[in-house]
Amino acid sequence: QKEVEQNSGPLSVPEGAIASLNCTYSDRGSQSFFWYRQYSGKSPELIMFIYSNGDKEDGRFTAQLNKASQYVSLLIRDSQPSDSATYLCAVNVPPGNTGKLIFGQGTTLQVKP
């Protein structure tokens, strides 16, 4: 069974610190990886996607992908209280390019002022 695993948390960091969120996936055929942020009672919003091994930076966010280890992470620098939310890791379902995703259960991040 295809799976995406995340630590549910909560992960608590002080304001200004780096938050590190981790995700592992089971299907080696997966090629597309996404991070979404979901505030309580709201729908997910895309933070970033990554396809290639290595790092991808966008503002305060950096996604890291290691396909050999089947591991994808999200770093949030200079964490702000407004970053407090649930972060969902999503991985495409191979084969083919159907756009279908499997979501992890999400990691709750708490940024304390």
Partner 1 sequence: GAVVSQHPSRVICKSGTSVKIECRSLDFQATTMFWYRQFPKQSLMLMATSNEGSKATYEQGVEKDKFLINHASLTLSTLTVTSAHPEDSSFYICSAIRTDGTDTQYFGPGTRLTVL
Site for partner 1 in 36-55 (CB under 8 A): 36, 42-46, 49
Site for partner 1 in 74-103 (CB under 8 A): 88, 90, 92, 97-103
Q: How many residues bind partner 1 (CB under 8 A)?
A: 22
Give the span between the Cα atoms of 35 and 64, in whole angstroms: 11
Peptide bond into 10 cis (omega under 30): yes
- For the bound state, the minimum distance from the C-beta of residue 15 to partner 1, rounded and expressed in Å, comes to 25
User: Taking phi first (over 0 means left), then psi (-120 to 50 degrees means alpha), and beta for anything else, what does residue 19 get?
Assistant: beta
Q: CB within 8 A of 44, min separation 6: which ones?
A: 36, 37, 38, 88
Q: Which is nearer to partner 1, 17 or 48 (CB)?
A: 48
Six-digit token pair at 99?
Answer: 């756009």
Out of 24, 104, 109, 111, name the contact with partner 1 by CB under 8 A: 104
Task: Provide the binding-site residues for partner 1, judged by CB under 8 A.
Answer: 32, 34, 36, 42-46, 49, 88, 90, 92, 97-106
